[in-house]
Amino acid sequence: MVDSTRWALIGATTIAREWMINAIRETGGEIVSVMSSDAARGKAFADEFGIPRSTTDLDEALRDIDAVYISTTNERHFAECMAAARARKHVLCEKPLATSYEDAAAMVSACRDAGVVMATNHHLRNAATHRAMQEAVAQGRIGTPLAARVVHAGTLPIQMLGWRLHTKGAGAGALLDLLVHDTDLLRFILGQEPLKVVTVAQNGGLAIEGIEDAAMSLIQFSGNIIAQVHDSFTTRAQRTSCEVHGTTGSLVAINNMAQGPAGTVTLRDAEGERELPLVQEDYYVRGCRAFHAAIRGEGRPAVTGEDGLKSLATALAARKAAQTGQFEPVRQSSEG
């Protein structure tokens, strides 16, 4: 019998509260400590969720545990991940992995050198909708994929109307927050790599001046596939969607980009139109199950550190493209 994985939560956060505490526990993990920069908030968080230890000290949080879940604001991920790798703890890190490519690449290398599992918490690969789309594409059910379109646009709930809209140094803006998810999703469904991107960013008055609260991007993928992506915090009544169009058919997912299990996928081809059968499951539970298995040496995480580096590289290229007005190349991992 394998002992359960002992976890530290690095960050007393909304995502931990709403999804990850349950996901870690549901898949056999034991949460033994939480780190917050505010002692009182950390203690209240620990008490609320029955976590034995709370601390403001990272080294103390890392003591006597096996794995960390890092969900602080994005500029803090680098130092926290590097400390965890030095202490040889497995790392499940929130997206974007960091606010610079160099930091994220160093995080991936440090975990690899330490021999620990590293995963990025892109949840959308775990959705029944997207797994069905990935399978249909791989089975050739739409022929050769030519184009994709993602709408990841909606509004932010009140608890998210903070640093995302006003703290540049924390990686605010729709591109680092949402385009990283879309890129990872398209890489997963298409099995292709983003090569270059051009972006038009918008400030619709929700974020402070100088930060985009919406953007549209065109991404050229390998395999001669073109993709169009709409990311937004500002559209109240829009439905999310993901479409992939191939030479013989199309896949259309609707209401599929949320955090909770939802959405449908329709396959259209010469035989007509039908919904693909789906067995829905909590995306974060599924991700944590794969992470725990990877720690036991069974398979790999749903989304690795390298995957998180690629999604970040695309969002950073998009942010640059929004300034230059030109296509920008997506940095490839082999470029160092």
Q: Which residues bind ligand NDP (CB under 6 A)?
A: 11-15, 36-38, 41, 71-74, 94-95, 121, 123, 160, 162-163, 177, 259
Q: Residue 72 or residue 183: which is nearer to ligand NDP going by CB?
A: 72
For the CB of residue 87, give the shortest distance to ligand NDP in the complex, in Å.
18
Query: What angle (nearest 5°) sits at the alpha carbon of residue 128, between those of residues 126 and 129?
Result: 110
Instruction: Name the β-bridge partners of 197.
Output: 219, 328
Query: What distance in Å separates the CA atoms of residue 11 and residue 23, rounded to the nearest whole number?
Result: 16
**C-alpha to C-alpha distance for 57 and 53, rounded to whole angstroms:** 11
Of residues 120 and 241, the one with the C-beta less far from ligand NDP: 120
Which residue's CB is nearer to ligand NDP, number 89 or number 164? 164
Least Cβ distance, residue 38 to ligand NDP (angstroms): 5
* Shortest Å, Cβ 257 to ligand NDP: 10
Judged by CB, which is closer to ligand NDP: 159, or 332? Answer: 159
Q: How far apart are CA 43 and CA 198, in angstroms?
A: 45
- Count of CB atoms situated within 10 Å of the CB of 25: 17
Question: Apex CA 7: angle with CA 36 and CA 85, to 5°?
Answer: 85
Distance between CA atoms of residues 149 and 252, nearest Å:
9
Give whichever of 145 and 182 is closer to ligand NDP, judged by the CB atom.
Answer: 182
Rounded to whole angstroms, how far apart are CA atoms 192 and 38? 43
CA atoms within a 13 Å half-sphere pointing along the CA-CB vector of 45? 28
- Smallest distance, ligand NDP to C-beta of residue 21, A: 12
Torsional sign, CA 150, 156, 160, 163: positive
Q: Give the angle 111-113-119 at the CA atoms, nearest 5°.
A: 25
| β-bridge mates for residue 227, sequence order | 148, 219
CB of 97 to ligand NDP, least distance (A): 9
Q: Residue 271 and residue 249: Cα distance in Å, rounded? A: 9
> Of 163 and 327, which CB lies nearer to ligand NDP in the complex structure?
163
Q: Which is nearer to ligand NDP, 145 or 287 (CB)?
A: 287
- In whole angstroms, how close is the CB of 121 to ligand NDP at the nearest point? 4
> How are strands ordered across the β-sheet holding 225-232?
272-275, 264-269, 249-254, 241-246, 145-153, 225-232, 214-221, 194-202, 328-329
* Nearer Cβ to ligand NDP (120/199): 120
- Least separation in angstroms between CB 258 and ligand NDP: 10
Query: Minimum distance from CB of 31 to ligand NDP (Å)?
Result: 14
